[in-house]
Structure formats: C-alpha cells, structure tokens
Amino acid sequence: MRSVSRIQGRAIPLDRANVDTDQIIPAKHLKRIERTGYGGFAFEAWRRDPAFVLNDPAYQGANIMLTRANFGSGSSREHAVWALLDLGIEAVVGVSFADIFKSNAFQGGLLTVELPEPNIDHLMGLAAESPDVELVVDLPAQTVSTADETWARSFHIDPYRKYRLEHGLDDVTMTLEYLPDIEAFESGRAG
C-alpha cells in the first residue's frame, strides 16, 4: 500500500448521494483476479450519458473526488476502491461513507474525508465553476483547502488509521513489521 500524506490536484464534482458499489464497479467485472485494470469499468452505466461528469475533458486527470452522503453503500466489494484508484483518485471527500467502503478504502490506501454538507456544497460549486482550481487534502494537518489557501476546513480521522495511511501500512505490512519476532517464535517451536 502506498503512503498517503498531502494530495494536491483538481477535483471531480460527483454531485450524487447514495452512490453504491455496484454503480462504482458493476458486478460483471468482479471475475477478474487482479487488483488493477478496473478504472475503465468504473461508473460504466453512468458513463453512457455524455453529460456525466467523468466524460467531461475538464476533469481528466483529476485526483480528488467530491461526493455527497452515503458514498460506497451496497455490497462489500473492495473492487470499488481498486476502480477509483485506477481512475487516479487518491482521495474522496464527501458528507459520509458507508462503513465497509470506508474500511476497504483505508485498507487500499484511498483517503476518505468527511466534511459537513455546507463545506461539500462550497467545494462542489467551486469545482463545477472552475474545473482547474486545485484542492489540497493534507492528512498530517487534517485539512482540506484550496491550493491558494483562501478556503480551508479541518477534518477528523482516527489516529490509528492516520498513522497507518501515512506509513502505507495495510494489515499484511503491519504483520510483517513483526517478522523478526514471528521468525524467532517459529524457530523455537518443536517441529
């Protein structure tokens, strides 16, 4: 897992609530065994609409996604996180996230940030009016701001999750930090 610190870039205003994991990545694409290659299938049904925000060239290359309440609801598929990461999304900033999606995002190194709805309203308007405006999501400082620092808000994150994201530690790498102890234990066991 990559470490997360300061994410700066343009934002995609996905102005929808209750975006479920089946909308993020349709079930028919879950037969793959790789963790990569899902970005091309992300939001597949919505992309058929030429007016869908991800079809707008102004947002190509944006690495922050803005959304509304209950993002990632539905099934527990971690593929939704992989699809967003494949799109180049490094942080999703919204009103709220489904618990399982938030956990999967944490395990995959995708930062989720919750802000009050008036803050999301402001950011949605900003990104819609000026697609070239850059935001900064600063995990160490726990802030979301405009790159020119004319607007900034703090966010809360569990200190343990913050530590693990900053150090790029998923469950496997956390376990591997104890490898010398594990090896010592294994070598002392009667075989």
Per-residue pLDDT, 189: 82
**In the structure, what pLDDT confidence band is assigned to residue 135 with cuts at 50, 70 and 90?**
very high
Length of the chain, in residues: 191
Per-residue pLDDT, 77: 85
In sequence order, what are the residues at sequence separation of 6 or more whose Cβ sits closer than 8 angstroms to the Cβ of residue 2? 109, 168
Q: Are strands 6-13 and 134-138 parallel, antiparallel or unpaired?
A: antiparallel
Q: Token pair of 191, please? A: 């075989």
Residue pLDDT, tens place only, 71-98: 999 988 899 999 999 999 999 999 999 9
pTM, 2 dp: 0.93
- The structural domains of the chain, ordered by start, are 6-188 (3.20.19.10)
In sequence order, what are the residues at sequence separation of 6 or more whose Cβ sits closer than 8 angstroms to the Cβ of residue 53? 12, 13, 14, 15, 59
**Edge-to-edge order in the sheet of strand 91-94:** 111-114, 91-94, 64-66, 6-13, 134-138, 143-146, 152-154
Per-residue pLDDT, 1: 86
What is the average per-residue pLDDT within 101-109? 95
- Is 43:23 a contact under the CB 8 Å cutoff? yes
